[in-house]
Structure 1
Amino acid sequence: MTAYGIDLGTTYSCIARVDETGRPTVLRSLEGTDTVPSVVFFESADNVVVGAAARDGSVLEPGLAVSLIKREMAHGTPHRRHGRTYTPEEISAFILRKLAEDAQVATGEAVRDVVITVPADFGAAERDATRKAGEIAGLTVVDIISEPVAAAITYGLLNPELDRTILVYDLGGGTFDTTVITLRGGSIKVVCTDGHRELGGTDWDERLMEHLVEEFTLEHPDVGSPLDDPQAEQQLRVDAEALKRTLSSRNRHVVRVAHEGRVARVEFTRETLEELTRDLLDRTVEITRRTMETAAAKGVRDYDQFILVGGSTKMPAVAEALRRAFGVPVLIQDPDLAVAKGAALYAFEETYRRLLRSGDHAGAEAVAAQAGLTAERRELIENTTIRTVASRGFGIVLTGGSGETPHVLHLVHANDPLPTSVTEEFYTVVPDQAVVTVEIVEQAGAAESPRLDDNVRIATGQLPIPPGKPRGWPIEVAFDLDSSGLLHVTARERETGERLDLRVQIGGMSEEKVAESRTWLSQVRVG
């Protein structure tokens, strides 16, 4: 009955579970590390390497490696390796399999039920793609929860009886989120959330890499750029990340850049790092301020603490900038592991609650006994609720007929409480219309816009209309967005009862394709 929590990160991932003392514990990889680099190396058609060895392999053969795949969950870019095309879901599934198989070695039991975390800013398509990645990996995805919520669960465990209002500042390897959360009586309520899907520690690495190249070129102007050599570029990326980590604890470091037989020793200081990346940090402060303005409009103006999670928050400049800008106490709460631990706690507690709701009190008792839960802890878990919000607005494309520019009407808005259900009536635009095309979109930018170009199509389908109907024949469309942020849309023609059920999907992966990938990829060795 053990359920696991997985932080499927852009640059690093990890897996955790609740131990026999009721505390969340991260399970170490076969390499002996808490986190695994989210890098996949396609050694051959039937052998895939994930983690540190994959990252090392990417330096020698960068064309066989895939990294930062989490950033591609939004648009489904395919990757072709050894004659086969892999979707982002399939590549992510290899990372999940590595985590699950290493955890099985560590615990002696197979990993089946999991909760996977995603950035708060992920929309329905990315969340659905993450769920499918878990299924392709052979896992049962109990739920998808936002990373800031997972971090708040970990934080709330410290003082479950203490009511707090916090802002979770989550700067990971590839994404950035800010989320305002209230903790009351052990329950969690998300007030609002904001963020940027392509802003993270990788962007800091990019700036460092560019500077290293500039310094090398200044010293060796007669030699080509290291960026023209895929192997040299990949080595620079590895060096840049290591440099960023080093300068989080040291004030000075020297990097050796080698290319075409020439070497440049580049001395780097923490001050140089901060100067090169000041605009990136300023963007996170601006988004944080915007989040707080949204929260203020909802009546939340006072904060007990800012909680920093994500490995990139270890850079001293982050906490300093937040204290200077907002004057709120800042706590760096287990930045690399807090999300996985929170997911494990949620997985455990939700398993316990579901067993109780289903009437399986013996099963619930077994779960509680396994973790040594006290009566007080059981009562707290039973009464805990998590209320979150929509990360993005969702709408439908409307047109008045021939010559009128299509536009978007949003039925669900960013920061609407979840779960939510909205039903609206729409109408045909011409007499004797045979079908209605139902096109669902998701808000793409920071603000809602009726322009098609400011939204992303995430689902489409056609609903038949009975013959001979006049213009303005009614069609009912219902949006159902669950607490995980997964969207289901139903369109219905009332006279015939004809229904169109739309599931949001990304990268063309239908449920049939997911099952097919699960079978095929299970035959590939993952090391």
Structure 2
Amino acid sequence: MAESASKAAPGERVVIGITFGNSNSSIAHTVDDKAEVIANEDGDRQIPTILSYVDGDEYYGQQAKNFLVRNPKNTVAYFRDILGQDFKSVDPTHNHASAHPQEAGDNVVFTIKDKAEEDAEPSTLTVSEIATRYLRRLVGAASEYLGKKVTSAVITIPTNFTEKQKAALIAAAAAADLEVLQLISEPAAAVLAYDARPEATISDKIIVVADLGGSRSDVTVLASRSGMYTILATVHDYEYHGIALDKVLIDHFSKEFLKKNPGAKDPRENPRSLAKLRLEAESTKRALSRSTNASFSVESLIDGLDFASTINRLRYETIARTVFEGFNRLVESAVKKAGLDPLDVDEVIMSGGTSNTPRIAANFRYIFPESTRILAPSTDPSALNPSELQARGAALQASLIQEHHHHHH
């Protein structure tokens, strides 16, 4: 766990928790020992980790995400995992529909037009600079919400972040005028969000944290003993994730579109049409987590042809079965890697946006015995929102550090 040089005196600090995700980020603070996720100025609590530049104006979050259709070359997405990496280690799969990572000496850079003047040269920005600009927006949103300038944060990171990646994140935060109180692992933050609740009883237990995100899934097996967490095993996967579920819907509706419009071009082969499909597939997927039916519609999908359709949850669960089975295998392999049996697991904490999918929780219910608690909204009425766990845990940790300093200085 790394700390950075303190700027604000401990008494003057204003602290928050930040989940800086590869797909989405969030910010949280504590009020009376209770963690709350803060909405940004657009009312979003899940803030897409995306920056976009239009005529010199900077957009971030959901607004930037909407520009993936009209302004992909000046939009930077999926950059968190690139931070602190050498170019040869970078997987650019998810960057095809936005600004592409490029090699420049030891740095990974993006070339984008971020200035207003028509004739201005495009800027070459390092991934660190992109991270700084994005973090600055998160801090700005939190400061605006709290009515005072945020100085310090606990930031969550994956368990496989290297020392180099940690150092790069701390430096990027410092450049955004943000003191990093601590970097906390994502699964520890998720566990903390549950353990810090007033009704929680701290007992010795084995916990699986299934952190299912947009572009990656990370499963961690932890032992909690007298309030201390020990990691027993971790599994990281870059094939089964939220984007894989979006792709299932994209393929399903593209085939339906082609069937309804014989002779039309395949919308998956046109970058702009595909960008429209992606945004709509994600919102349809989210709707299917909340209700049993959802609509899918795109205006002017390709060659001026509109497309509208519907899908029910059962059909979606059928066509996405291989992806859901992939999540099952990940969890089973993590338990096995820890040298345990599903019978040994007391709790499965479902974290990350993709964990909102009821089918995934229902499947996990089959893997584990009745006695194992599956903490997801669809399986446990007391479960917290999986998308908010990490930010809540980070905020709780930030306020613990803050109180500790307060009493000792």
| Candidates 50, 68, 73, aligned match of 2:78 | 68
Give the 3 Å change call, closer, same or farther, for CA 27–256 of structure 1 in structure 2: closer
Contact 2:14 2:149 in 1 (8 A): no
Partner residue in 2 for 1:169: 210
Q: 1:216-365 maps to which residues of 2 (within 5 A)?
A: 216-257=257-298, 258-296=301-339, 302-327=344-369, 328-332=372-376, 333-353=384-404, 355=405, 361=407, 363=409
Q: 1:70-469 maps to which residues of 2 (within 5 A)?
A: 70-73=80-83, 74=85, 75=89, 77=101, 78-82=109-113, 83-158=122-197, 159-197=200-238, 199-257=240-298, 258-296=301-339, 302-327=344-369, 328-332=372-376, 333-353=384-404, 355=405, 361=407, 363=409
Alignment deviations for residues 189-228 of structure 1 (CA, whole Å, 9 cap, x no partner) = 2222222245421221122112222221222232222234
Contact 1:14 1:36 in 2 (8 A): yes
Q: Distance in 2 between matches of 1:98 and 1:168?
A: 29
| Candidates 42, 45, 58, aligned match of 1:34 | 45
Percent of aligned positions that are identical: 27
Q: Distance in 1 between matches of 2:361 and 2:44?
A: 26
| Candidates 8, 13, 34, aligned match of 1:23 | 34
Q: Distance in 1 between matches of 2:273 and 2:253?
A: 12
Q: Which secondary structure state, in structure 2, belongs to the residue aligned with residue 296 of structure 1?
A: coil
Contact 1:171 1:177 in 2 (8 A): yes
| Candidates 55, 67, 81, aligned match of 2:65 | 55
Cα distance, 1:303 vs structure 2: 1.8
Contact 1:160 1:185 in 2 (8 A): no
Q: Is the radius of gyration larger for structure 1 or structure 2? A: 1
More helix by share: 2
Cα distance, 1:288 vs structure 2: 1.3
Aligned Cα RMSD in Å?
A: 2.3
Give the 3 Å change call, closer, same or farther, for CA 27–209 of structure 1 in structure 2: same
Contact 1:24 1:341 in 2 (8 A): yes
Give the 3 Å change call, closer, same or farther, for CA 150–97 of structure 1 in structure 2: same
Alignment deviations for residues 415-468 of structure 1 (CA, whole Å, 9 cap, x no partner) = xxxxxxxxxxxxxxxxxxxxxxxxxxxxxxxxxxxxxxxxxxxxxxxxxxxxxx
Give the 3 Å change call, closer, same or farther, for CA 47–262 of structure 1 in structure 2: closer
Q: Distance in 1 between matches of 2:350 and 2:325?
A: 16
Cα distance, 1:100 vs structure 2: 0.3
Q: Distance in 2 between matches of 1:103 and 1:361?
A: 25
Scaled by the length of structure 2, the TM-score of the pair is 0.80
Contact 1:160 1:186 in 2 (8 A): no
Cα distance, 1:265 vs structure 2: 2.8
Unpaired stretches in structure 2, ≥5 consecutive residues: 1-12, 91-100, 102-108, 114-121, 377-383
Cα distance, 1:60 vs structure 2: 2.1
Give the 3 Å change call, closer, same or farther, for CA 300–350 of structure 1 in structure 2: farther
Q: Which secondary structure state, in structure 2, belongs to the residue aligned with residue 7 of structure 1?
A: strand
Contact 2:214 2:242 in 1 (8 A): yes
Q: Which amino acid aligns with 1:165?
A: I
How many residue pairs get aligned? The number is 355
Q: Which moved more, 1:247-256 or 1:171-180?
A: 247-256
Give the 3 Å change call, closer, same or farther, for CA 132–205 of structure 1 in structure 2: farther
Q: Distance in 2 between matches of 1:136 and 1:210?
A: 42
Q: Which amino acid aligns with 1:81?
A: I
Q: Which secondary structure state, in structure 2, belongs to the residue aligned with residue 132 of structure 1?
A: helix
Q: Which secondary structure state, in structure 1, belongs to the residue aligned with residue 339 of structure 2?
A: helix
Q: Which secondary structure state, in structure 2, belongs to the residue aligned with residue 248 of structure 1?
A: helix
Q: Which secondary structure state, in structure 2, belongs to the residue aligned with residue 254 of structure 1?
A: strand
Q: Which secondary structure state, in structure 2, belongs to the residue aligned with residue 247 of structure 1?
A: helix
Contact 1:120 1:195 in 2 (8 A): no
Scaled by the length of structure 1, the TM-score of the pair is 0.63
